[in-house]
Structure 1
Amino acid sequence: MIKLRSKRFCRSNSKLNGGGGSIGGGGGRGSVGVGEIKWELRPGGMLVQKRENEESVGEGMITVRVSTGLQLHDISIEPTSTFGELKMILALVTSLEPREQRLLFKGKEREDEDFLHMVGVREMDKVVLLEDPAIKERKLHALTRNQAIGNPCRTISV
């Protein structure tokens, strides 16, 4: 097990005071604004220093443009979401089940467990949605089989 210890860093107030302060002054342990460093664990497993501002990278919403060939869909989603979660949203829009969908980003098919921000998806990036060819073929076979069962007395005259 690794123990991480926070270090306190001190800054000179000379830049904030217009350059009039002394270089060594104001940097003691009791300085205003100096605190413990907070850590956060990112989805990829990386331990990083937590940012102070409310909206850090990986938070908020991004818009992803999804192309189905004939249509474009603009989907708002959190960048820390997975491609599997994007498929679930697309299932509502396209009426394709998530297991019937294949998502491509930058020319590569992405797995359901891949995080959007980890593979580099940013605001208004394009993702291509394809229907899985194996499932498409199974649907076609089932449709032709059902049509053949529906008309058993059909004869072909020559």
Structure 2
Amino acid sequence: MIKFRARKFCRSNSKISGGGSTGGSGRGCGGSGEIKWELRPGGMLVQKRENGESEGEEMITVRVSTGSKWHDISIEATSTFGELKTILSLVTNLEPREQRLLFRGKEREDGDFLHMVGVKDRDKVLLLEDPAIKERKLHALSPENPCHPISV
């Protein structure tokens, strides 16, 4: 880790502070005077975040609608829609291959990353059951089906 001494830059705004200059002791100034830096894998030197997490590890809550029910799912922002389907399969009893996820009116592929298509905290995603698989299930459960255990 590299440490640099930070310069204090304060800007007073008389409209907000209700009067003259704060003389450098305002809300935006102060602190330890040191900024901690980190070297990212790409070689970029950036200021280290206070909570110690990088942006990719941020947890978001996605609200998933199945039509009649809502499910609030906590997931990493860098997860894929396929990973979201896996989590939803535990809640909805639909296999991931039976699910179709729509965000902003478009069906999303399993390999699409949530953060890359713009999913943010508390955004809504629509979950639909794949109509072809739904039809196959209904056909398999119908009494006319010779493979049905009830038919004679």
TM (norm. structure 2) is 0.68
1:55 and 2:56 are equivalent in the alignment: no
CA contact (8 A) 1:40 1:50 kept: no
More strand by share: 2
1:81 and 2:71 are equivalent in the alignment: no
> In 1, Cα distance between the equivalents of 2:65 and 2:7?
52
Q: Against the structure 1 CA distance between its residues 134 and 82, is the aligned structure 2 distance closer, same or farther, given a 3 Å change threshold?
A: same
Question: Once the two structures are superposed, what CA deviation does each residue of 1:78-136 show, in whole Å capped at 9, x if it has no partner?
Answer: 10111001001000000000000000000000010111111110011000000000000
Query: For residue 134 of structure 2, what is the aligned residue in structure 1?
Result: 136
Report deviation, 1:61: 1.1
Query: For residue 29 of structure 2, what is the aligned residue in structure 1?
Result: none
Q: Against the structure 1 CA distance between its residues 150 and 12, is the aligned structure 2 distance closer, same or farther, given a 3 Å change threshold?
A: closer
Query: For residue 72 of structure 1, what is the aligned residue in structure 2?
Result: 70
Work out the number of aligned pairs and report it. 125
Runs of 5+ consecutive residues of structure 2 not aligned to the other structure: 11-22, 25-32
CA contact (8 A) 2:61 2:121 kept: yes
Report deviation, 1:51: 4.8
TM (norm. structure 1) is 0.66
Report deviation, 1:151: 2.6
Query: In the alignment, residue 38 of structure 1 is paired with which amino acid?
Result: L
* Match runs of 1:1-158 below 5 Å: 13=7, 15=9, 38-40=39-41, 50-53=46-49, 54-144=52-142, 145=145, 150-152=150-152
Runs of 5+ consecutive residues of structure 1 not aligned to the other structure: 1-9, 20-31, 42-46, 153-158
Query: In the alignment, residue 122 of structure 1 is paired with which amino acid?
Result: K
Larger Rg: 1
RMSD of aligned Cα (Å): 3.0
Report deviation, 1:38: 1.9
